[in-house]
A and B are shown apart, each in its own frame.
Chain A
């Protein structure tokens, strides 16, 4: 039962263009969402998060959008840089019931072409 889904295993984008990574969830109890970035042989690194009371959160080149009615969130990276090439994981938490754990998607591998 995959409660957090990242349906695109990979994405290739030209340097300087926008990267859009998508994530869908099924559990309506999820109320907090995070994006993590992971390089090979390293642990995930926190990128950006959003609470369900918001529909957008921005941090520099990174913006996360949340559509609660569609149970969908997306991460926008503008402009994309070669150093952004990594695997991006979407994660969700039901903070009111099990705020101690994250449920991760399977990841999207982003390749930014110079």
Chain B
């Protein structure tokens, strides 16, 4: 049973370009979460999605960031017009249940975004 798959592992973008980060959850998991880790900081919640629905986007910056989890295919985190401050590790996690006390989150190995 494959774990949470994220690609690409590394992504370099110039300022103003778009970044697309993909996440395939574990088999049987319908709950997907995106977290961001800035250098020397802990992981910060960004967004929680179920298939075709955004459930909680309270951690997402209001502009340039969007996320989706379509009926078919991976979840996508999209960052438009990237700036240097977007450079970070972006982690996706999945779970078979909503509440973390029902099942711990399983994390992917992350996408390291570098904006030059």
Q: Is B69 in the interface zone, CB < 8 Å from A? A: no
- A101 to B56, Cβ gap below 8 A? yes
- A98 to B42, Cβ gap below 8 A? no
9-residue interface stretch from A12-20, A41-49, A60-68, A71-79: A41-49
Given contacts A41-B109, A105-B42, A106-B40, contact A93 B4 (CB under 8 A): no
Q: Which residues of B contact A106 (CB under 8 A)?
A: 40-42
Q: Which residues of B contact A104 (CB under 8 A)?
A: 35, 42-44
- A107 to B42, Cβ gap below 8 A? yes
Q: Is B2 in the interface zone, CB < 8 Å from A? A: no
9-residue interface stretch from B14-22, B72-80, B100-108: B100-108
For the complex, what is the distance from the CA of A45 to the CA of B43, rounded to whole Å?
A: 13
- A93 to B40, Cβ gap below 8 A? no
- B101 to A51, Cβ gap below 8 A? yes
Q: Which residues of B contact A91 (CB under 8 A)?
A: 43
A95-110 contacts to B (CB < 8 Å): 95, 98-107
For the complex, what is the distance from the CA of A4 to the CA of B31, rounded to whole Å?
A: 24
Q: Is A89 in the interface zone, CB < 8 Å from B? A: yes
Given contacts A46-B106, A101-B56, contact A34 B42 (CB under 8 A): no
> In the assembled complex, how far is the CB of residue A110 from the closest CB belonging to chain B, in whole angstroms?
15
- B98 to A43, Cβ gap below 8 A? no
Q: Which residues of B contact A6 (CB under 8 A)?
A: 42
CB < 8 Å: which of B31, B40, B101, B109 contacts A43?
B109
Q: Is B25 in the interface zone, CB < 8 Å from A? A: no
- B45 to A101, Cβ gap below 8 A? yes
Chain B interface (Cβ within 8 Å of chain A)? 4, 6, 31, 33, 35, 40-45, 48, 55-56, 58-59, 91, 93, 98-101, 104-110
Instruction: List 27 A-B residue pairs with CB atoms under 8 Å apart, sorted by A's residue number.
Output: A6-B42, A32-B100, A32-B101, A34-B100, A34-B104, A36-B107, A42-B109, A43-B6, A43-B91, A43-B93, A44-B107, A46-B106, A49-B104, A89-B42, A99-B98, A99-B99, A100-B33, A100-B56, A100-B98, A101-B58, A102-B35, A102-B45, A102-B105, A103-B45, A104-B35, A104-B42, A106-B42
